[in-house]
Amino acid sequence: MKVIKKINNNVAVCLDSNNCELIAFGKGIGFPKMPYDLQDLSLIDRTFYDLDFGIISLFNEIPEPVMQVAVEIVDKAKVYLQMNLSDMFVFTLADHLHFAIKRCQEGMIIENPLMYDLQHLYDKEMELAKWSIRLVYRRLFIRLPSEEEANLAMHFINAQSIAKKNDQESDITRIIEDLTSIIEKELDLLIDREDFNYARFIMHLQHLFKRKDKKVVIQTSNLKMFSQMKKEFFEVYQCVLKIKEYFVKTLNWQLNDEELLYLMLHVNRFYSREGL
């Protein structure tokens, strides 16, 4: 295996024997001068193929211990839920854990209104989420709030869904593109469709559409936060109001303040990469 680009001391971009690019995890593989031939393949702990190499920037944002915890959780999920997971899910989960830990350290707790439903409809995913939170504490000595169980469970549920090319999916794709255009116009920016934040935005919208199909309305106690954010992020709020108007005119569907809050969290990531 040829190591061609250092990401950090223990992660690097490599070429396998078939000249295919991959990202490899392995203790110390990023130390030597690049490029070099790695003879001892036992040093490689894990390889990831078919990744969007734009995610490399995440390694500068997400601490390596958090990434390793995400790897452990995904390994557990594959066995416990008998799931076929893409390599990309490790990075999606690591990104979520990173922000969840930051929120925890800042004393910010976001309730998930679907907690009760998830406990009854997706008991295995919820059990895995509880196990994951215990693992975070064992590995990182950070105790995530119980509210995070539902958020993690949603990631496991989403990861199990199999994409099907049908008319409904085509409609969703069109709606997502319309909403993206609204954000770009209202905030005067250009969204990179390959950016990781965009993937997270799409994932949120997919959950939104699923709740619409199941007629699930979320109601929680986050309205105080919503009131504060409307003032602090006025431009983002005005943009989200345009999205609300689109849902009414196009889908005859009213978004409540709770839904608007979650949309603001995602839209703000485009407006300010630091996020909330």
Sheet containing strand 2-8, strands side by side:
36-37, 2-8, 11-15, 21-26, 44-48
Residue 128: band (very low, low, confident or very high) from pLDDT cuts 50, 70, 90: very high
130-153: per-residue pLDDT in tens? 999 999 999 999 999 999 999 999
| Dihedrals phi, psi of 5, to nearest 5 degrees | -150, 130
For residue 170, give every residue at least 6 positions away whose Cβ sits within 8 Å of its Cβ, in sequence order, or none. none
- Burial class of residue 97, CB neighbours in 10 A (0-12, 13-18, 19+): buried
Q: What is the pLDDT of residue 164?
A: 36
The DSSP element (H or E) to which 206 belongs, if any, is: helix 196-213
Q: Output the CA angle 122-75-117, nearest 5 degrees.
A: 10
Q: What share of the chain is helix, strand, coil (3-state, %, to 5)?
A: 60, 10, 30
Read off the tokens for 215. 């007629």
- Rounded mean pLDDT, 214-230: 76
| Dihedrals phi, psi of 2, to nearest 5 degrees | -105, 125
Please state, rounded to an integer, the average pLDDT across all residues of the chain. Answer: 86
Q: Quote the CA–CA distance of 17 and 39 in Å, as a whole number.
A: 12
167, pLDDT greater than 90 = no
Four-CA torsion 6, 12, 15, 21, nearest 10 degrees: -110
Give, rounded to a whole angstrom, the gap between the first and last alpha carbons of the chain. Answer: 40
Amino acid identity of residue 156, one-letter, is F
67-125: per-residue pLDDT in tens? 999 999 999 999 998 877 878 889 989 999 999 999 999 998 877 777 877 887 788 99
CB 246, CB 209: distance < 8 Å = no
| DSSP secondary structure string for all residues of 55-121 | GGGGGGTS-HHHHHHHHHHHHHHHHHS-----THHHHHHHHHHHHHHHHHHTT-----TTHHHHHHH
